Every structure is written in structure tokens, then in C-alpha cells.
Amino acid sequence: MPTDYSFSSQLYIDGGWTDGTSGSRTVVTNPATEEVIAEVPSASVDDVRAAVASARRAFDDGPWPRLRPAERAAVLLRMAEAMERRMSELVAVNMAEAGSVRPIAESIQTGIPVAHLRDMAERVMPAFAWERPMEPTIAGPGITQGQLRREPYGVCALVAAYNFPFFLSMMKLIPALAAGCTAVLKPAPATPLESLLIGDFADAVDLPPGVLNVVTGGVEAGQELTTNPMVDLVSFTGSDTVGRTVYAQAAASVKKVVLELGGKSASIVRADADLDGAARSALAGITVHAGQGCSLLTRTIVHESVHDELVDRIQAGLAHVQVGDPARAGTTMGPLISAAQRDRVEKLIRTGEEEGATLVAGGGRPAGLDKGHFLEPTLFTGVHNGMTIARTEIFGPVGVVIPFRTDDEAVRIANDSPYGLSGAVWSADTVTAHGIASRLRTGSVSVNVGGGVNPRAAFGGYKQSGLGREWGEFGLAEYLQTKSVSWAAR
């Protein structure tokens, strides 16, 4: 058992730690070594109900929703400080349970979420319009005036995916707590440890009991959260298939639903583009966290005049990717999360070949890695947008290159997708690039950069990529109700 990190091995309910009532355990393995690194309780439906009831009491009767925003912000700052003191531990846990290479573990997985937490407490909450006056106006027989108030939505069920466990949990928890909501957080069964650690941080800042609860579990636990009548809001990150199920389950009690779902994001590379930059971006779309990211740029749509040159540059970059255990020095791409996910990606690679795409790099398992769920970074050319590999979210280290002739054709190809989460445009003509960006039906677009995680941005999708927005003031607004309070003007 590694000794450079620790983890919580119980459920966190009503301000305390418990083994729960199911008596069963979930085994957590390192996807790079297949070694068991922890066992945690598998929450029963009764455990989830207890967590929801605790959150309900904390919201209805507890102090948290009634604190002034500045008071909540002070608690969030203390939580950020507690996380910063244990950052090396968070990084180690992430590398072990999620298979991230160190640079990703230190930045996107852990460092950026804590930066977002600080941004919420230091920038967003002090400037947010929690209330504002309604000017006097004629209403019916008299003149009224009043106030518009932003109030916490209530009890929130926060359900995160396995690929970025701490990041995704925090992107939901930060605005929920900032708004004054209470929460039940459920991580993915494969990666529960970082979310359970968040319970430690709640203890460290004396968060009132019930404000945060952390439970584990699979389908039954998730369904209890999405259908429980005491839950007011559900925020889910995961596949569009499961997202539709969550949406339907929540509809019975008309819960608010925030969904961050799949993506098949396109990067448009014009003939005048910086090909080195575009190639690095395409390489990142394939290799960052082994392609396990919903907003990664996995479709490269390139002008036919520079198609071969760009492909050569991407191939050259792929040749230098070092696949292996993230704990090993020099590794630049780690494993997929499980054998089942690797099998799924391998099946899609075979489908690409069967449908006539040209495999120009990768496609197999790396030599010499008998343990761990590894795949070679893979690139296809000869792809058209009707192929399965061009339309399906693969969630593995696979990229496709599609040629175009005109800007209109590039936009059409990019928008011809059930998804609309992210995108990019590469061109020396920035005016034209921004014009193309405005035509893309997607929640975010980067121009001549590889993307980023800016807390001042609004993150979310068009079409089947989801509902609502996360990050900063946009994420905060999702967890607030607007109330009008009116009275007679004198």
C-alpha cells in the first residue's frame, strides 16, 4: 500500500463518518497497476436517504443558508487554505485512483479547482447582485415597489464522473455552498477517494453538520438522489445516455437539473493557421488524460491545402508520447480508467477501420505494459463526418482528421454533431476566426489557443452536451432562485 497519501474510507453523513448500513464494500484499484489501493463502503439506499434527510434539515433549520454571503465566503476561503496545505496528498490520490500523469494531476485535477474556489470567495461572491431594488411602478390599482432577492435553491444532489473526480466534484460543490445550498455529493464508483477527502476539508473548517454529505454507490444510489422528493436540484456530469435518464427521473418531482454531458468537439484549422500550435492542440485532444475528457478537441477539421502537413506534425508529436504508469518519471500519458473502457475504445478503433478510415498512428496496446489499462495514442485520417468515430464520443486517446475546402463547409462539419460543448478556430486572420467562432453551435470556443479553464468563463454545452452553466458567477446563478418581494409605494 502506498504511504505518500491517505484517504477517508467511510461515508460522510450529517457531519460524521460512518460505514453505512449495506455491509458491502467497493474496491478501488489503480488503473495503471491494477493494484487495490482502497476499499470504501458501498452506500445503501437507506444511507443515501439519511444523507438527503441530513441535508434537508441543514437547509430548513440550520445556519448555513441564513449566513450573509460574506460569512460563507470566509468559510470557503478557509476550505481553500485547508486544501492547499494538503495539495501534495490530493495530487497523489488523483494519480493513484484516476491514473493522471503528474502535470495533469497538479493542474486541472487539483490546482485549478482550488483556484476556482478562491475565485468564488474573493471575486464572485463580493460582487454578485444578491439583491437589488425594484423601482416604483403602476401595478393594478396602486403603485408598488420592492426588491429582487437571490436565494439558495435548496438541497442539491451532486453527481460527478470518474475522469476528473476532484475537479468535477468541486465545480458543483463550490457554487452550491456559495449560494447557501446544502448538498449530497456522489462520486463515480471507480474514483471515490478524492470526493471522500472533501469531507475532511468540511471538518477542517467546521462546516455545519448536513451542509455537505458524501456517499458512494452505483445506479441505485444515483437513482435515489434523482428521485428523492427532498432533493430540489440535481447536477450531473457524465455521458449523454445517463444524462437523459437523470433528466427523466428528476422530472417526476420537477427538480431543477444541471447537466454537463458528452462532447465531440471540433478544431477548425484554416490554411493560414499556425500549424505548430494547431498540431499541439490536436495532440492534447488525443493524449490529455488518455482522451478521457468531454471537452477535448477530438475532431480536427483542416483545410485540404495544409492537411498532410498538419497530419505529419501531429504524427511527429505522437511519436514522442510516453505511455505508462504516471508514477514513473517521464510518463506523458497514463491509462484508461478500466479494462471495460479500454475494450470499448478498441472496439471503436476497429469500427473506424471497418468503415474505411485510415489508421496512421497507434491503434493497439503499448508493448511491455502487461499490467494496466493502456492504449497507444491513435490517429485516423480519411475520415468523413458520417463515420462512427467522427460522431461518437470515444473517451479514449483517439483523434480524427477531416479535410474541408471552404469556411462554410468547415462550420457545417463542426456543427453536424449531436454535441456542442467546446471548439477551436486556428487562423492568422483573427477577424475571420472570430466570425467562425460566432457561428459554431457550442458552449465555448478558443481562438488560436488550445483552450483553458478560466474561472471567469461560462462552461456548458449546446444540444446534447447539457443544460446550464458551470464556473464563476454563471455557475453560482444555477444554484439560486429569484424572489420578488413587493410592497405599496408611499
The verdict on 228 and 293 lying in the same domain is no
- Looking at the 3D structure of the chain, how many domains does it have? 2
For residue 2, what pLDDT is reported? 44
The verdict on 116 and 167 lying in the same domain is yes
Q: Any idea what DSSP says for residue 479?
A: T
The verdict on 238 and 149 lying in the same domain is yes
- Angle, helix 307-318 to helix 275-287, in steps of 10 degrees: 50
Catalytic residue status for 260: yes
The verdict on 230 and 321 lying in the same domain is no
The verdict on 408 and 477 lying in the same domain is no
* Cα–Cα distance list, 465 to 241, 244, 300, 384, 420 (Å): 11, 11, 19, 22, 6
Residue at 1 is within a domain? no
> Of all residues in the chain, what percent are helix, strand and coil, respectively (each to 5)?
40, 25, 35
Could you say which of 260, 346, 470, 478 is catalytic? 260
The verdict on 269 and 233 lying in the same domain is no
Q: Is the CB of residue 42 less than 8 Å from the CB of residue 24? A: yes
The verdict on 302 and 322 lying in the same domain is yes
Show pLDDT as tens, one digit a residue, over the chain (490 residues).
344 566 678 999 999 999 999 999 999 999 999 999 999 999 999 999 999 999 999 999 999 999 999 999 999 999 999 999 999 999 999 999 999 999 999 999 999 999 999 999 999 999 999 999 888 887 666 778 889 999 999 999 999 999 999 999 999 999 999 999 999 999 999 999 999 999 999 999 999 999 999 999 999 999 999 999 999 999 999 999 999 999 999 999 999 999 999 999 999 999 999 999 999 999 999 999 999 999 999 999 999 999 999 999 999 999 999 999 999 999 999 999 999 999 999 999 999 999 999 999 999 999 999 999 999 999 999 999 999 999 999 999 999 999 999 999 999 999 999 999 999 999 999 999 999 999 999 999 999 986 668 888 999 999 999 999 999 999 999 999 999 998 887 6
Q: Which domain holds residue 31?
A: 11-261+465-486
Residue at 198 is within a domain? yes
pTM, rounded to two decimals: 0.94
The verdict on 397 and 296 lying in the same domain is yes
